[in-house]
Every structure is written in C-alpha cells, then in structure tokens.
Structure 1
Amino acid sequence: MKRAGGSTGIQKAAELLSRAVQSFGETVALYEAKQDLNRLLEEYERIDSILNQIAQEIAALLGEIPIASQLRSIKGLGTIYIAAILASAGDLTQYVHGRQFLRKAGLNLAESMSGKRKGQIIVSKRGDSTLRKYLYLATLTLVGTNPVFKQIYENNVQVKHMSKQKSIFKLLGKLARILVGLVHSEESFTPEKTVIPYTQAA
C-alpha cells in the first residue's frame, strides 16, 4: 500500500488485516442473497447469449457484402464497427475521397461563427452522429490494437508535439481515407503502404 505522501503504509495494512480476521459477514437472509446472485448470473448469461447471436447474424450479413472483407483486413476494425460504419455511410464506393466521407459524418472542418469563437476552425458536426461516433470509437480501438495506427499516433504526439485529442482526429481522417481508398482499389489493407510514405513525409 502506498499513500499520496509516498509512505508504504505497512502499519495501516497490518491493522486492516488484523481487523479483517476478526470481522464477520452478513449472516441474515443468506439463501435469498444466493438466489439473487443466481438470478443476476442467469440474466447475464441470457443477455450475453443474445449479444453473441446478434454478432453472428451481423457477421453473416457482412459476408454478403463484398467490400466488408476488405475492411476486415484492417487489424482491430471489428465486426460491430464495420457494420455500424456501413449501415450509416452506405456503399463506400459512392465517396470519391475521404473528405466526402468525413463530411457525411460531420467531421469536416468549418469556421465557427459564434460570438465567442468567431473565426476559429472547429469540427462541423453537421452530419450523421452515429457514423461520427463509431468512426471515433474505431479510431481509439485501432490506436490500441493496430501497430500502424499506434505508430502514427505516437509520432504525432512525441515528435510533432500534437495533443492526444488532435492526434486522434488526425488519425480519424486517415482512417476515412483508408476506408474509401480500399474499396476503390479493391485491395486489402497493407501496412507498408500506410507507414512508409508517412515516415518519409515526417
């Protein structure tokens, strides 16, 4: 145990252990408590089973969409993210460039005309909020699970001295361009094509 002041708190830990040995739990209505716990576990298993069934049905539907297999080639971009993005954005081949895709999600940049922030450049948020939400969550997941996105994120923060939030939005734009680029090229995601040009440009 460590306290804010840096002390180890060994004496406090010993006191807690001593009191724990002498303490006793609730002995009233043990049967009812066990029944409540069993009901909660049964409810958890029921909901978990429903969610698994839904995930399987979504995966089956994605199997019928040709471009879904291309999107799956991006490590970390799971079934739910792909389904949510396609459901909100529609056929990605209709977008000529990632900028159009970002505009659909309301993630394009716009000038703020409010009294307090007049002239500042902000994210417009004039688009599909569900698409915006899942693109953002997908980017966060990719930063944590995909080596390519993690490398770019760290380069933005450590080398280019961007804020963490700004780096995330930068990567969000990159994800949009990658998604549109994949469906137009009819190719799978290739880390080398993403990292090497980025590193050279940096």
Structure 2
Amino acid sequence: LEALPEELVRYTEEELLEYLRQAVKRSIGIKKIQALKEAANRSIGIRQGAMMAKMELRTLIQKYELIQAKFEELDQTLDTLLQDIPGVDQMLEITGIGRDTVAGFFAEVGDLSEYNHPRQITKLAGLSLKENTSGKHKGRTRITKRGRKKLRALLFRASMILVAKNKAFKALHHYYTTRPDNPLKKMQSLIALCNKLIRILFSIGKKQFVFQEEKMLKDIPHMHAFIQEPVAA
C-alpha cells in the first residue's frame, strides 16, 4: 500500500485494518489504525511533487524489503555455520544465552581448539586485571581494555542478561556484591561474571557438557546463604 497521507485518509478504518493484517506479521488493532489516520490527517499540506514522493516511498520500501531478505539469508547461513561448531547446542541451553551471543563469541575468538586456557580469551577481550602503580603508590586495580572491544562489549551484555534471567549468575552477582569480606561494586562483579562466562563457554566448547545452574552454585563456598529463590534442577 504505497499511499501518501492525502490518499491514506480516503480508506476506511476497516479497509486499512484488513490490508495491514495481511501485510504485517505482528498484531494490528483498530486503535493503531485510528492513530495512523489521525497522523495522516495532520500531515496533509503542500501536495506538489506527489508523484516524486510516491517514487521515493516505493524505492524506500524496495530497499527495506531487500535488506530484510538479506537478513533472513544471513540468519540461515549463521544457523548452518553454528551447527558445525562443537558445544554450540549445549551453550544455547544455558538460560539467558541466545544464538546471537554464541555467534558473536565465535566470530571474535574463532576456533576454541587454538586456545589452551580460558585466560587467553580473557586477555583477548581486554578483561585481564592490572594495578596502576607509581613508585611507592599502590593504585586501583582495573581491567587492561587491551583487546577486542566488540568481544568485551558482547560479554558485558551477555552477563547483564544472565544476571537478569539465569538463577545461578543472579545469585553469584548477589554474592559478589554483598559478601562480608571484600564485596565488589556492581561493575566489578560484572567483570568477574564476564570471566566466569568465558570459562564456561571455553569448557563447554572443549568438552561439550551440559551446563547445570545448581552445580555452579554448589561449587561456590557459602553460596547457599545468598540464594534468593530455589534453583531448578
């Protein structure tokens, strides 16, 4: 429906609703149609150049459809590539970890068989710790940030999602930030969780085991005292 505002207002709400329900995948209600018509009414002004405007609108729609088709093609290619990587299925079973995170991780680190220890990936992401010192002065400990910025950003996003959706990571974040001895600030905790995630993904890629939230919690001393909700088996 390549209609300018002045043409759009000529259609009834029912006609627009019928068309959009066929053309748009997500649900469209009558309130959205009414809002569309109200916006079209307010938009009617100078009508010169309507033909060129419609040509431009048609071109933009074609570009959008082409981009969507390319995205769908890319998604299919991505799924095919991920199928051949050991451990991907087990990684995707972790609550809070999605396909884009796993794909982004491998896009940055490459073949895990090339690494001997997860610390190498920590260093690659610029998440290794360093202490700022000057003479006798002992400064604050920070991450180096000497590494792949995209990988570091991906791990931070993934860790924040895990804190929100994964019971084990949520409980571990709570423990890190509230423990009596040396509690961490939220950002420091997220850095620790990024490194924890690296170790988990590295181990799964090497051994293809199923990640268990309950086992992760049992491996942490005094963790049971900080669990807010029961962990599903």
Per the normalisation by structure 2, the TM-score is: 0.62
| Identical positions, percent | 32
Alpha carbons 1:104, 1:128 under 8 Å: kept: yes
2:67 alignment partner in structure 1: 47
Displacement, 1:51? 1.7
Could you tell me which runs of 5 or more consecutive residues in structure 1 were left unpaired when the two chains were aligned. Answer: 1-19
2:170 alignment partner in structure 1: 150
Could you tell me which runs of 5 or more consecutive residues in structure 2 were left unpaired when the two chains were aligned. Answer: 1-37, 227-233
| 2:47 alignment partner AA | A
- The structure whose RCO (Cα within 8 Å, separation 6+) is larger is 1
Displacement, 1:136? 1.9
Runs of 4+ in 1 over 6 A off after TM superposition: 32-35
Q: 2:86 aligns with which of 66, 70, 79?
A: 66
Alignment CA distance shift 1:37-1:163 (3 Å): farther
Q: Distance in 2 between matches of 1:45 and 1:145?
A: 34
Alpha carbons 2:86, 2:208 under 8 Å: kept: no
Residues 86-112 of structure 1, C-alpha deviations (whole Å, 9 max, x = no match): 122122244444323211211100122
Per the normalisation by structure 1, the TM-score is: 0.70
| 2:218 alignment partner AA | I
Q: Distance in 1 between matches of 2:134 and 2:76?
A: 46
2:154 alignment partner in structure 1: 134
| 2:193 alignment partner AA | L
SS at match of 1:48: helix
Alignment CA distance shift 1:38-1:100 (3 Å): same
Displacement, 1:28? 3.1
Displacement, 1:175? 0.5
Number of residue pairs matched? 179
Displacement, 1:182? 1.8
Alpha carbons 2:159, 2:194 under 8 Å: kept: yes
Q: Distance in 1 between matches of 2:65 and 2:171?
A: 38
Larger CA Rg, structure 1 vs 2: 2
* Aligned-residue RMSD, C-alpha: 3.2
1:197 alignment partner in structure 2: 219
SS at match of 2:219: helix
